[in-house]
Structure 1
Amino acid sequence: MVLYSKLHMGSFLLFLFFASSLAISSVSASNGMTVYEILTQYGLPSGLLPDSVKNFSHTDDGSFVVELEKPCYVQFGNLISYAQKITGTIKYGSITKLDGIKVKRFLLWLDVDEIRVDLPPSDFIYFQVGFINKKLDAGQFKTVRSCKDGLSCHGSWKDILKVPTPIKEVPMLLTE
């Protein structure tokens, strides 16, 4: 019985070790840097990604994979949509071959293909959407923002389709 509980306790401690290792890897890469530190190391603002990064990997050739807890939205000047998995290639001052980030323009969701900053760094960041380049103030991307789910960002379909309640008429008092 004592041997069984020591084995059971050992298994439990081993489980805790692996669970804590997974939690640590979701916050930092193998070299101990967070994804936000890697962005700034490449001359990009850390706020390009939301605060819900679960895991990420980065290779020597610059390709990366970022996994979020779930797909979500962040409101900047425009509404930005993040897929649960974001991939691309990071180089100093740019992210190319980007997949997993969209921007809402009017009623359309458009893929962001590339993100870059001026070299030497200036106060602007450029988002390439198809053949269109959108120049934005880089300051709005310096802070890592909280990711919102689709309902909290847009309201639910029930709210959109809800018939407004009529306003009760208030009798006016006539005074003479």
Structure 2
Amino acid sequence: MASANPNNHLRLSLLSVLLFLSLSELSFSVRDPVSVYEILPKYGLPSGLLPDSVTNYSLSDDGRFIVLLEKPCYIQFDYLVYYDKQISGKLNYGSITDLKGIEVQRFFLWFSVDEIKVDLPPSDSIYFQVGIINKKLDVDQFKTVHSCRNKVSGSCGGFWNRIMELPTPTDDIQMLITE
């Protein structure tokens, strides 16, 4: 019987150490995934377009995305905005098109937001396309990420006071259609 060559054991041990070091180097070089709030500004959009309850997202090479929230929720901007549990669309530089899962309330009615755009070069405005209506808003309210709330949470008294108030005369309908 021939005894095992000690050089084979040494080579095998050295190979194992090198393999271990290579794998450990890979695991330390893997970076934390980029958050969706970091991706939006890279596309020229404010990070506060989405609520703070994003649990996961996917973004394909062609810009198609899906964002998952903990649960559906509401955020009060100039208008009350509803976010479904799943939001999808196509991300381009300066715009989101084919948008699904975001609605805005106007005059007790809910309207789906189809598209969001910003001026290029950036300005102080952001545009929301709701059907044939294009509404221009101040972009500052979307620069910070807001917390979600349930529709029923908050002050019910304030809600009923707003309902019972007589509206002040404005040409808001014309502005909503033309802006």
The answer to whether the superposition gives a TM-score over 0.5 is yes
Note the C-alpha offset of 1:153. Answer: 5.0
SS at match of 2:110: strand
- Tell me whether 1:101 sits opposite 2:102 in the alignment: yes
User: Any stretches of 5+ residues in structure 1 without a counterpart?
Assistant: 1-29, 161-176
Distance in 2 (alpha carbons) for counterparts of 1:123 and 1:90: 20
Distance in 1 (alpha carbons) for counterparts of 2:135 and 2:155: 23
Q: Which residue does the alignment assign to 1:38? A: 39
SS at match of 1:39: helix
- Tell me whether 1:87 sits opposite 2:80 in the alignment: no
In structure 2, do the counterparts of structure 1 residues 81 and 33 end up closer, same or farther at CA, with 3 Å as the change threshold? same
Q: Percent identity, aligned pairs only?
A: 62
Amino acid at match of 2:63: G
Distance in 2 (alpha carbons) for counterparts of 1:36 and 1:100: 17
The aligned length equals 129
RMSD of aligned alpha carbons? 1.9
- Tell me whether 1:71 sits opposite 2:104 in the alignment: no
Q: Which residue does the alignment assign to 2:153? A: 152
Amino acid at match of 1:44: L
8 A contact 1:73–1:153 mirrored in 2: no
Q: After TM superposition, what 4+ stretches of structure 1 lie above 6 angstroms from structure 2?
A: none
SS at match of 1:143: coil
The more displaced of 146-155 and 43-52 is: 146-155
Q: Deviations over 1:12-37 (max 9, x none)?
A: xxxxxxxxxxxxxxxxxx97210011
Note the C-alpha offset of 1:155. Answer: 4.0
SS at match of 2:148: coil
Note the C-alpha offset of 1:150. Answer: 1.6
Look at both structures and tell me which one has the larger radius of gyration over its CA atoms: 2
SS at match of 1:98: strand
Q: Which residue does the alignment assign to 2:48? A: 47
In structure 2, do the counterparts of structure 1 residues 39 and 101 end up closer, same or farther at CA, with 3 Å as the change threshold? same
Distance in 1 (alpha carbons) for counterparts of 2:154 and 2:120: 34
Q: Which residue does the alignment assign to 2:142? A: 141
User: Any stretches of 5+ residues in structure 2 without a counterpart?
Assistant: 1-30, 161-179
